[in-house]
Amino acid sequence: METLRVTSGDVALHVVVAGPAASPHLPILCVHGWPELAHSWRHQLAHFAGAGRRIAALDVRGYGRSDKPHAIADYRLSVICADIAAVIDALGGRAILVGHDWGAPIAWHSALRHPERVAAVAGLSVPYVPMGDTSFLDMARQLYRDRFFYQLYFQEEGRAEAELAADPQALHKIYFGLSAAGTDFEFLMTKPPSAGLLDGLAAPDRLPDWMPEADMAVFVEAFRAGGWRGPLNRYRAQDLDFAERKAVRGRTIAQPACFIAGEADVVRHFVPGVDLYADPGAFCDDYRGTTLIPGAGHWVQQEAPGAVNAALEAFLEGLWPDPLPPAVAPPLRPAQRRPAGSAGRPLPAARSRSRS
């Protein structure tokens, strides 16, 4: 295992790299979400490095050992996608992206904004949906006008930071509460809008087997040392993303893509009455399939690393000849839903399901 310090504009990024530098395969770059770290990909780093692939994971700006600018504007998707491009350049100039939670939109949008660098994309937890003419936060303000929704709660600067910093068990509650063992979606949906994020969330008597105390300590120390403002600023930058959507508005993902998630992920039901995992490849031109993993919640690559690694292996093995010929940037095309029956190929891992 080695570390890199990659500069993107005025920000320095911490990157962990594993696997042989002389691997003939395209490198894999893993992008974490909230509230995570490069350490969230420990199982994937070990597995794919052991299989002879070069694989990296970064602490996204605002997290861990990466720099933490103060301004909300420094956390726009366009800016973080430029960070991803800089890391890909440090890895050789072209890579396969794997993103979870916020890391999935970052990966999807990096594929749109930097197609010459992104060869393929695997999204975990959050399917790709193109930006349109209504911002996500405006939609959330309508859907959750009389109920708690964490992304709206995060908009007020300082409030969530204070709540999370004051509770030494905050990460224990979040990780357990959104796992398959702790998911209580009805509770999350029915709190009053005045509630705090942690109100009603209990810390587990013991951590689940997939999160040993030593690993939890890595996360706890990183957020104790680095604080919560940078991670929360990604949520606050969403209206800024919407304002500069012209470059990506209505675009599909041209690169080969797949989707992996836990069956019990709360993201699946963010829009009341809608299964967001029913058609996760709707806006991907070269969709290779969906894997929904039974018994896994939101932290899928940590809760079910074996199933996730198998699904990613199937995706990688189904790509073009590897190593690839020189990159040719795929064109951006307007979003179009494929006709019924044009399902992507299912991935032969866990409980795979093709779209219908």
Tell how strand 284-293 and strand 118-124 pair up: unpaired
Angstrom CA distances, 48 to 23, 208, 225, 306, stand at: 11, 24, 30, 11
Pick the closest to residue 68 from 111, 31, 101, 37 (CA basis): 37
Residue 298 known to be catalytic: yes
Q: List beta partners, residue 29.
A: 56, 97
Annotated catalytic residue, options 47, 109, 172, 298: 298
Please state, as a whole number, how many other Cβ atoms lie within 10 Å of the Cβ of residue 185: 14
Judging by beta carbons within 10 Å of its beta carbon (0-12, 13-18, 19+), is residue 291 exposed, middle or buried?
Answer: buried
Side chain identity at 248, as an amino acid letter? V
Q: How far apart are CA 11 and CA 282, in angstroms?
A: 35
Q: How far apart are CA 21 and CA 26, in angstroms?
A: 11
Tokens representing residue 220 in the block:
């706890």
Q: How far apart are CA 284 and CA 254, in angstroms?
A: 6
Tokens representing residue 243 in the block:
């304002």
Residue 167 known to be catalytic: no
Q: What are phi and psi of 307, to 5 degrees?
A: -70, -40
Q: Is-contact 122 97, C-beta < 8 A?
A: yes
Angstrom CA distances, 271 to 177, 206, 268, stand at: 19, 32, 8
Annotated catalytic residue, options 101, 241, 265, 279: 101
Q: Is-contact 12 79, C-beta < 8 A?
A: no
Q: Is-contact 167 173, C-beta < 8 A?
A: yes
Q: Which residue has the tokens 């702790």?
A: 182
- Catalytically active residues, by annotation: 101, 298
